[in-house]
Amino acid sequence: MKRAMIIINPSSGKEDALSYTEQAAELLKEHDYTVEVRETKKEFDATTYCIEACEEKYDLVVSAGGDGTLHETINGFMSSTHKPKLAVIPLGTVNDFARALHIPLQPEKAIQSLQSSTTRMADLGKVYDQLFVNVVAAGRLASSLSEVPSKEKSKLGFFAYVKEGFKTITGDAASTIHIKYDDQSWEGSALLFIAALTNSVGGFEQLAPSAEIDDGYLHCFIIQDTNLVNTAAVGTSLLTGNLENSKHVHAFKAKHLSISAEAPLSTNIDGETGISLPVTIDILPSFIEVLVPETA
């Protein structure tokens, strides 16, 4: 029989998380899987469980939680020669990876997708010894978004990020950064730097409309230091999927880049506080195989 491991963050999806896990386990058993359920209790548990699934040659790993749980899970694939297929049951606030792969955001529908026979290869990114599945951002705006309280995210959802972001850009938010990418470079004052793997970042599904999950590129945007009126114009470009054409944005694609800053500056990796600059970022093309709906 095939073997599946469900890695569940019981604090995601409110009180329904464990119920969703039971539904997923039953469906997988009906499709000839033996199922192991692992609940996360502390940081990095999901990574540990995924490493175990790789070492024991499981066929499928199911990440049931938000983008943070998914980020920890995919880091279990880092050094593994055997990589199980990955499935996602989105239970978080934003769920960018699920959006990009057209995995239903309603958990019940996502669970039904576990019986799909369709898969898609997906790129991952690498920051030093850490993998990421969605985005790396840098700048004071990125740092502030990492600090949005869980209660605010639960109460306001995506708008919690909008609220915090607006508070930051009305202050002194710009930083001088230096970026080298492939055979080019950029230097200047910026509000935010983004390196995205998918079209959906922070719930904006058209931030990088040309980005594909398996195109082998980091899709990068530097939002330059502007006044509040011009920043609002950038926001309009973001909402309309035209960010790369804004005169206040420097957009490029790269396979490798390094970024540093003149003042201390931390990163935001997949929505959580990451390491401080300087960092190097690389693309790992078609690194994992993801179970997607038949209609995706």
Active site residues: 272
Two structure tokens written together for 4:
């599946």
- Is the peptide bond prior to 278 cis by the omega test (within 30 degrees of 0)? yes
State the Cα–Cα distance between residues 205 and 188, nearest whole angstrom.
Answer: 27
3-class DSSP state for residue 20?
Answer: helix
State the angle between helix axes of 45-55 and 67-74 in degrees (0 to 180), rounded to the nearest 10.
40
CB 85 within 8 A of CB 61: yes
Contact between residue 199 and residue 123 where contact means Cβ atoms under 8 Å apart:
no
Please name the helix (run of DSSP H) or strand (run of DSSP E) that holds residue 35, with its range, or none: strand 33-39
DSSP 211-262: --TTSS-EEEEEEE---HHHHHHHHHHHHTT-GGG-TTEEEEEESEEEEEES
